[in-house]
Amino acid sequence: MFRVHNPRIEEKGAQVLGISCDHVAAHRAWGTALGGIPFPELSDWHPHGEVTKAYDLWNPDRSVGRRAVLVVDKGGVVRHRREYEPGTLPDPAELFDILDELNK
């Protein structure tokens, strides 16, 4: 199983962050229901969805962000972007390959 708090991620100088348009209290409840999550969960609550919109991941039909993985380099440039349907998980091997490319 792929764990987001993974020494291989840290070895590559990367960090996992979660973000959603939910309120901080909802993040806390979600993390507690899962038994804790090993990465920071950021709230795009107010102004609602502004970060999500900046990354062109806003779903105006549902007023929420679309599920995606972004790899952003240290300069703030998006080097990888892929959206996922609910219930679909990212391929860890693909993400490690992308991190390897960034570290060359």
Dihedral angle over CA of 21, 17, 91, 26, nearest 10: -40
pTM comes to: 0.79
Q: Is residue 94 part of a domain?
A: yes
What residues contact 49, with CB distance under 8 A and at least 6 apart?
A: 21, 58, 63, 64, 65
Q: Per the domain annotation, does 17 fall within a domain? A: yes
Q: Which CATH number belongs to the domain containing residue 30 in this structure?
A: 3.40.30.10
Q: Is residue 91 part of a domain?
A: yes
Q: Let me know if residue 2 belongs to a domain.
A: no
Q: How many domains does the chain have?
A: 1
Residue 1 in domain: no
Q: What is the pLDDT of residues 34-81, one digit of tens each?
A: 888 888 889 999 999 999 999 999 999 999 999 999 999 888 899 999
34, part of any domain: yes
Give the integer Cα–Cα distance in Å for 27 and 39.
12
The number of residues making up the chain comes to 104
Domain with 58 in it: 7-102
